[in-house]
Amino acid sequence: MSHRRTPNSLESLAAVPAVREAAAALAEAVARAASERGLAERDYQRAVAAIGRLRGRPLLLPAIASGVGRGARVRLADGTWKLDWIGGIGVYAFGHADRDLVETAAIAAAGDAVFQGHLLPGPEYLRVSRALLRHAGRRLRHVWLSISGAMANENALKMVLQKRHPADRVVAFEGNFAGRTTTLAELTDKAAYREGLPLRGNVLLVPFYDAAHPDPIGRSLAALDAHLQRHPGRIAAMCFELVQGEGGIRTAPREFFSALMQRCRAAGMTIWIDEVQTFARTGELFAFRTLGLDEWVDVVTAGKVLQGSAVLFTRAMNPRPGLVAGTYAGATVGMAVGARILERLEQDGYLGPEGRIALLGRRVERRFDALARRCEGAISRYEGIGAMHAFVAFDGGADVTHAVLRAAWDEGLFVFTAGANPARIRLLLPVNTTDEELEAGFAMLEKALRRVGDERGIPC
Ligand SMILES: Cc1ncc(COP(=O)(O)O)c(C=O)c1O
């Protein structure tokens, strides 16, 4: 019997034993060499300062990675370890130095091309595209790959505007974040992110869900209706961020979105969902599926955990040739690792209402409930789903929030901020977070909160 693989297969080379063994040996050698490297305290501080100088802005926290990690833990170049609960702002699905993903990356890196374009796509391009569409429901038929979330959103916006021409306005939620191109900075509801940029005035905002409001759905519908009345025939689309990421991990129930989507559809608007941050964090790959909104979607973007980005769209939204292109579809390593991440999420029970991501969300929620009971006053609000969470520390002032962020870092926990008025502390956890990591991280968080409370005379 021959053990040669059939010549008509484009399956991952990671399945070839000799290739896998070589990749494992390389990963092992790199991990060993990296663990022997590092910088003494003064040189580390110099390197931190040099990065700040080179890029013209200091690092938020003195964080330089060493290349060594284990689960949610990352070893910094000074030899200290941090529990990383922000993961490069939501990029590391399985935490640091995951051996399977490192080997997948090594195999992809040893192939023909570092980057792939749209002219000569490779097997990884095909694999990741198919995996995305497999999870996207029946309406979405096509996918166009790109590198950053912003590029995927730009492509989405161009598709929307071409199809709805001459309608040229887009509705988004207050607190929305869409990316950092000149146009997306305008769609993003944060003044500092567009300071000095020319504005086209084509963005219309409606309030996001607020559980404290007596009629949160009616309020947002009324705002949308007012825009529709004021700009008849001129509104092309509404961009939905189903869990606001930069806005502070703010969630809303299905009925809120479905009411707005129904109104958009009736008005002939395109429904565009930005899943760059929610992708693979809410239970299903796409939050619109977690929320059961499949029937409404026209265009969806993904990024971050995907290790690249993509826009998925219906047949009707397929743009005319010329509108969407670009040199890069993605890095071969990014596509191979992205496809492997999707495969593991599917095969290892991460997806679905009782999947590991949904269960992680409930475990985190229980920890927050317990912490809020123990440190009354320190956690004034908590919100989250699956592998994305945030809480308001004390009164959510920018200063106290930053103090908690800094104190958590000193305790060994890497978290980040989101939102404003009140600001929140954001956690974008690895989907395979263990109970031991949760125990350790919440203990660090508690110490940080107590320290900041003590320093400021706020009892907690
Ligand atoms: C919802 C959302 N959209 C778009 C983006 C932009 O993605 P990128 O930073 O990869 O361009 C982000 C990034 O944080 C995001 O959270």
Residues spanned by the domain of 34: 1-110
Single residue among 82, 110, 138 that ends a domain in this structure: 110
* Domains identified in the chain, total number: 3
Residues 419 and 452 in one domain: yes
Predicted pLDDT at 296: 97
Question: Do 132 and 55 belong together in one domain?
Answer: no
Q: What is the pLDDT of residue 454?
A: 94
What's the gap in Å between 153 CA and the centre of ligand 1?
8
- Cβ atoms within 10 A of the Cβ of 373, count? 9
Whether 63 and 43 share a structural domain? yes
pLDDT in tens, 308-338: 999 999 999 999 999 999 999 999 999 999 9
Q: Do 343 and 253 reside in the same domain of the chain?
A: yes
Ligand 1 atom having least distance to the Cα of 241? 1
pLDDT per position as a tens digit, 268-307: 999 999 999 999 999 999 999 999 999 999 999 999 999 9
How far does the centroid of ligand 1 lie from the alpha carbon of residue 447, in Å? 31
Q: How far is the CA of 306 from the centre of ligand 1 (A)?
A: 12
If you take atom 9 of ligand 1, which residue's CA is the nearest one?
149
- CA distance linking residue 72 with residue 84, whole number of Å: 5
Would the CB of 276 count as within 6 Å of ligand 1?
Answer: yes
In short, whether 307's Cβ falls inside 6 Å of ligand 1 is: no
Q: Phi and psi at residue 62, in whole multiples of 5°?
A: -75, 70
pLDDT over 90 (residue 234) = yes
Beta-carbon contacts of residue 377 (< 8 Å; ≥ 6 apart): 394, 453, 458, 459, 460
Residue 165's identity, in one-letter code, is H
Does residue 342 sit in the same domain as residue 401?
Answer: no
Cα(300)–Cα(243) distance, rounded to whole angstroms?
Answer: 14
* Nearest atom of ligand 1 to the alpha carbon of 176: 1
Which of residues 56, 89, 110 is at a domain's end? 110
| pLDDT tens column, 373-424 | 999 889 989 999 999 999 999 999 999 999 999 999 999 999 999 999 999 9
Indicate whether residue 277 lines ligand 1 (CB < 6 A): yes
Residues 298 and 424 placed together within one structural domain of the fold: no
Do 88 and 138 sit in the same domain of this protein? no
379, 252: one domain: no
**pLDDT tens-digit series, residues 134-168:** 999 999 999 999 999 999 999 999 999 999 999 99
Domain shared by 135 and 194, yes or no: yes
Rounded Cα distance between 142 and 130, Å, is: 9
Confidence of residue 7 (pLDDT cuts 50, 70, 90): low
Q: Is 148 touching ligand 1 by the criterion CB < 6 Å?
A: yes
**Does the predicted model carry a pTM greater than 0.75?**
yes
Can you give the CATH number for the domain in which 435 is found?
3.90.1150.10
Nearest to 178 by CA among 199, 167, 194, 163: 194
User: Are residues 331 and 376 part of one domain?
Assistant: no
The Å distance, Cα 303 to ligand 1 centre, comes to 7
